[in-house]
Structure 1
Amino acid sequence: MKILLTGINGQVGAAIQQALSRSTLPHELIALDRHRLDLSESTSIERALDAHQPDIIINPAAYTAVDQAESDQDAAFAINAIAPKQLAEGAARLGIPLIHFSTDYVFNGSKQGAWLESDTPQPLNVYGASKLAGEQAIAASGCAHVILRTSWVYSGGGKNFYLTMRRLLSQRDAVNVVDDQFGTPTPAGWLAEVVLQLLDRWQAGQWHSGIYHCTPTGVTHWLGFAEAIAAQLASEQRLTAKLSGIPSSDYPTPAQRPANSQLCCNKLRGTWAIALPDWQSAFTTYL
């Protein structure tokens, strides 16, 4: 099994690369960073697919600067919409499947309760719109595909809320965190384990194309996630700042965020037999 993996310097791509290095699955990994595969150039994508002739493509690469995307729309759509389209068309041409990552930000956050895959997307920001366009292009390509929508991704590397909050809690006396945006923190390491399970099922002859929501279970707000991080710091015998909740209106950002982006993942669990940990135990396990 020859796997072409994009975005290896990102949180999810790095986690998948690490998980595959420990895996007993028979495979050859073609791990490409932006210098070996420039997703903003269509010819680079076509050359990479023709040169490597993979058996499957995994695409966690994305433009994830949510606020910057508001003023850099062309770049966001190039990476999040046009590149997935070209990868999917290449996968269709080669007759191979594609695993692609998307986001909870395709929804507007107005629903009470968890979002289903069948709910109508209505993104509030450029980032969400670009990711939705990527989903639609993949579906239209006709390739075998699994699109994993996830949320609030964190890890011990890169740039993410977890690392930012650890730094702020260690450096300041008081930290204010938004408490009216709800979702589910998702460790990159767990997402990598999900991908390994999908690869294992695929090698066993299973494949179920479609969109799947992919997070641990449970829901919290950003303040609740920050409180879990503060508890971790306290367990390390480190002083932490005082945490206070604030409304989103007190922390304006260029990109509007959905108030509720909790995802229902029953389809992933039922179709692929993927076990879903609760977000608190996943936080402990993967950090």
Structure 2
Amino acid sequence: MNILMFGRSGQVATEMIRRAPDGVSITALGRPNADLVDPRGCAKIVQETNADVIVNAAAYTAVDQAEKDKVLSNIINAQAPAAIANAAAIRGIPFIHISTDYVFDGSGTTPWKPDDRCAPLNAYGRTKRRGEEGILAAGGQWAILRTSWVFSAHGNNFVKTMLRLGSERDKLRIVADQTGGPTAAADIADTIYRMAMRMTTGPKVGGIFHFSGTPDVNWAQFAREIFMQAGLFTQVEDISTADYPTPAKRPHNSRLDCESLKKIFGVERPDWRISLRRVLDELGRLPSPAKGGSRAA
């Protein structure tokens, strides 16, 4: 199977390259080769490819900055995926696109199902939802994989930020009224490969699916687990979203119902705590047996 992927240096794209299964060839296109600010150029690449599957692992992900860069984020997150999806549909090539929990308003406490009403709270979420709508309108065979709270040993993410701050400070104030499922980029990559295999063999399948790690936690609980596993003694003080204002509003409830992904593709929700340990090991941040560690208060 040959995969053409938009994205090369992001968290998921990096893991896609590293974790390609035997028999799978992946061509990863970075910005110099395929810039999503040029939707027509991206569509032209799809028109000329001999790939079996197209994956879009690239996006404008600076959530707060998107409040100012509305035009740019819309081109990258909405117009480019729609153009790629249209080209893939014309060619009859399956298309897999990564989306986000931020398409929902975060109300309630019930996990969001793929067909629940979308009502994004911020510009980033709105552009990602427009991208989804463009893919739906394109037709063809496609799958949208919504995920949340992505972390890895690469790029910028919550785990790496907590490791840095936890090494510098004795106490941190962390938001505790936003709940979701932390998700390792490696687990997302493995899931995309499984989806790609299924979409290119047997009856056609597709649609919108959710994927996140388990158990669901808030950011403060996530931070405590990071510190415990890394052997850091940083204390965590729970605060509310109102105590930590940001340019972009964040959803309080990012829980995702992942049952349809399990039913169609056989993918179970992974325990993010196990995946976190692998990331910390890669970063060289696991304490030695002699050094030990303690769960942060």
Q: TM-score range by the shorter chain?
A: over 0.9
Q: CA deviation at 1:196?
A: 1.6
Aligned residue-pair number: 280
In 1, distance between residues paired with 2:189 and 2:120? 26
The answer to whether the aligner puts 1:17 opposite 2:17 as a matched pair is yes
Q: Which moved more, 1:27-36 or 1:119-128?
A: 27-36
Structure 1 gap ranges (5+)? none
Which residue of the partner structure matches residue 70 of structure 2? 73
In 2, distance between residues paired with 1:88 and 1:148? 14
Q: CA deviation at 1:279?
A: 2.8
Structure 2 gap ranges (5+)? 281-297
Give the conservation status (yes or no) of the 8 Å contact 1:182–1:219: yes
Which residue of the partner structure matches residue 187 of structure 2? 190
In 1, distance between residues paired with 2:65 and 2:273? 30
> Which of 32, 39, 43 is 1:42 aligned to?
39
Q: Which moved more, 1:252-261 or 1:46-55?
A: 46-55
Q: CA deviation at 1:285?
A: 4.5
Give the conservation status (yes or no) of the 8 Å contact 1:189–1:286: no
Give the conservation status (yes or no) of the 8 Å contact 2:153–2:279: no
The answer to whether the aligner puts 1:245 opposite 2:238 as a matched pair is yes
Q: CA deviation at 1:82?
A: 0.3
Give the conservation status (yes or no) of the 8 Å contact 1:233–1:240: no
Matches within 5 A, 1:63-142: 63-142=60-139
Any idea what SS the aligned residue of 1:244 has? strand
Q: CA deviation at 1:44?
A: 1.8
Q: CA deviation at 1:52?
A: 2.7
Which residue of the partner structure matches residue 201 of structure 1? 198
The answer to whether the aligner puts 1:227 opposite 2:224 as a matched pair is yes
In 1, distance between residues paired with 2:67 and 2:159? 23
In 2, distance between residues paired with 1:256 and 1:12? 24
- Normalised to the residue count of structure 2, the TM-score between the two structures is 0.91
Deviations 1:207-259 (A, max 9, x none): 3110000112321000010001101221xxxx432211111111100000000
Deviations 1:124-171 (A, max 9, x none): 000000000000100100121010000000001100011001000011
Give the conservation status (yes or no) of the 8 Å contact 2:39–2:84: no
Any idea what SS the aligned residue of 2:19 has? helix
Which residue of the partner structure matches residue 280 of structure 1? 273
Any idea what SS the aligned residue of 2:17 has? helix
Give the conservation status (yes or no) of the 8 Å contact 1:182–1:221: yes
The answer to whether the aligner puts 1:260 opposite 2:257 as a matched pair is no
In 1, distance between residues paired with 2:149 and 2:252? 13
In 1, distance between residues paired with 2:145 and 2:80? 16
Deviations 1:173-209 (A, max 9, x none): 2111100111110000000111121122234324311
Percent sequence identity is 41
Any idea what SS the aligned residue of 1:258 has? coil
Give the conservation status (yes or no) of the 8 Å contact 2:57–2:97: yes
Which residue of the partner structure matches residue 3 of structure 2? 3
